[in-house]
Chains A and B, each alone.
Chain A
Amino acid sequence: MNIVETQDINFYYGAFHALKNVSLNVATHSVTAFIGPSGCGKSTFLRLLNRMNDLIPDIKLEGKCLVNGQDIYGKGVDVDELRKKVGMVFQKPNPFPKSIFENIAYGLRVNGIKNKKFINERVEESLRGAALWDEVKDKLGRSAYDLSGGQQQRLCIARALAIKPDILLMDEPASALDPISTSKIEDLIYTLKAQYTIVIVTHNMQQAARVSDSTGFFMLGELIEFSDTKKMFLNPDKEQTQNYITGRFG
């Protein structure tokens, strides 16, 4: 079953045509990776899925973007509700200037949850879900900034998980991390897909190959190829894909 379905997406930043007739589906409880050179439209496409591009002036979108069967750009769509269902983790860890505990609890409180016991349980559950609990359980009151970069990124993942999203969008989540932290994030992605659908943008093709079930290759705003990851990295259909993943493009 597909949790995301997009049809003929065209997206413009002013006069710049950033996405050209992109149609693709994302299967529930799968990991989908988007790869491609800088400026190819992969992050733009990712940010469409929880309407993060709405904040940019002079944009225009054509086509359909369905999440759980609902047109997320249709009339009357509550963007806050959408973002509860479609969480996001960014390239650079961006914890709030608060304690580790408050970083997770904040989103719950903003959503009107006041029950202390419930919040405590959800904080632990989210930190466990992000494989961070054992490392921080004795210092929940410490500033999130005291954590390492890799821990901060997992804290951001825990923060996103606390709201119980259906989909987790990750925009180069490990590009600022060392290999050990990267490996932890990748293990986490593999574990999380049992409960969540994950869409990841990465410049690291081996990371896409390691963690994803399906891979989409974008170039100059077009989705050149979208297929099973194993197939794409062994025998891509398109020559452009092959040239990119084998490093034959500069």
Chain B
Amino acid sequence: MMENKMPKYSEKELVSLKEEVNSMWQLVLSQLQICKQAYLAGNTELAREVVIREKSVNSFELSIDIGCENYMALFAPVAMDLRLIISLIKISTTLERIADFADSIARHVIEDSTIAPEAMREDLKVEAMFDAAISMLSDSYAALESEHSKLSGKILHKDEEIDKLYQEGKKYLVDFIKKNPEKGACALDTFLILRKIERIGDHCCNIVEEIVFYIDAKVLKHKGIKTC
């Protein structure tokens, strides 16, 4: 049988949906990078930029939802096309949640005067946590772009690094509060920042799981890191 060389209408629709998710991904990645800079530098201008652009992320989510619903209704996808559509819906929802965390951190920079002093942030390795989360999001984008699920193990390991830093940070802050009860509010706010970055790592793991489901039709959910 001859393979049809003319691009199929259904494939073009899928490609355009994937491109829309990629654009949303780039936006969320940039939100995360700017929110890191804003937090570490205490820069309220940058933080405002994140808050303003949050609406664009929400618009992307709605548009991708509609696009995926339409594709399912009109083309009744099966096999890898079906897996891709399911994954794109879940990925866009997860990206939106990651962006919510970035927005929340940015609002903290704008509204809160109890930002952790630089020495504390260095002790807590906040920058390293941010970098690990940004790298997870960036690598998972590369995994979907290249349809290379083998990157998933590397990405999931980074989440373990974030979890470790988060646990160490929590312990540090408990000790800090004991020693400096008058600075409890600042420590608590800082803990919430760590918690948000840790949750971003978890969401990146969910994205990786969706990519593996799309590429390999394997379900990693609730099975731990060893399965990939």
Contact = CB atoms under 8 A, between A and B. Distances in A.
Interface stretch (A14-22, A146-154, A170-178, A242-250): A242-250
B128 interface: no
Interface string B53-80: 0000000000000000000000011111
A206 B2 CA distance: 23
A205 interface: yes
Nearest to A231: B217
A165 interface: no
A248 B81 CA distance: 11
Nearest to A209: B78
A247 B1 contact: no
Given A233-B82, A234-B79, A245-B78, A250 B217 contact: no
A248 B11 contact: yes
Nearest to B80: A242
Contact of B1 (A209, A220, A233): A220
Given A234-B217, A235-B217, A247 B8 contact: yes
A206 B4 CA distance: 21
A246 B217 CA distance: 15
A15 B80 CA distance: 38
A37 interface: yes
Nearest to B6: A250
A233 B78 contact: yes
Interface residues of B, number: 17
A245 B79 contact: yes
A248 B8 contact: yes
Interface in B1-44: 1-4, 6, 8, 10-11
A250 B78 contact: no
B11 A234 contact: no
B90 interface: no
Contact of B76 (A37, A206, A235): A206
A219 interface: yes
Contacts of A220: 1
A246 B78 CA distance: 6
A250 B3 CA distance: 6
B83 interface: yes
A249 B4 contact: yes
Contacts of B2: 250
B1 to A, nearest CB: 6
A248 to B, nearest CB: 7
Given A247-B8, A248-B8, A248-B11, A235 B3 contact: no
B83 A234 contact: yes
A32 B4 CA distance: 29
B1 A242 contact: no
A239 to B, nearest CB: 10
A242 B79 contact: yes
B1 A246 contact: no
Contact of A235 (B1, B6, B10, B83): B83
5 contacts: A234-B79, A234-B82, A235-B217, A241-B79, A250-B4
Interface of A: 37, 205-206, 209, 219-220, 232-236, 241-243, 245-250
Given A234-B82, A248-B4, A250-B6, 15 more contacts: A206-B76, A209-B78, A232-B79, A233-B82, A234-B217, A235-B217, A241-B79, A242-B79, A242-B80, A246-B78, A246-B80, A247-B10, A249-B1, A250-B1, A250-B2
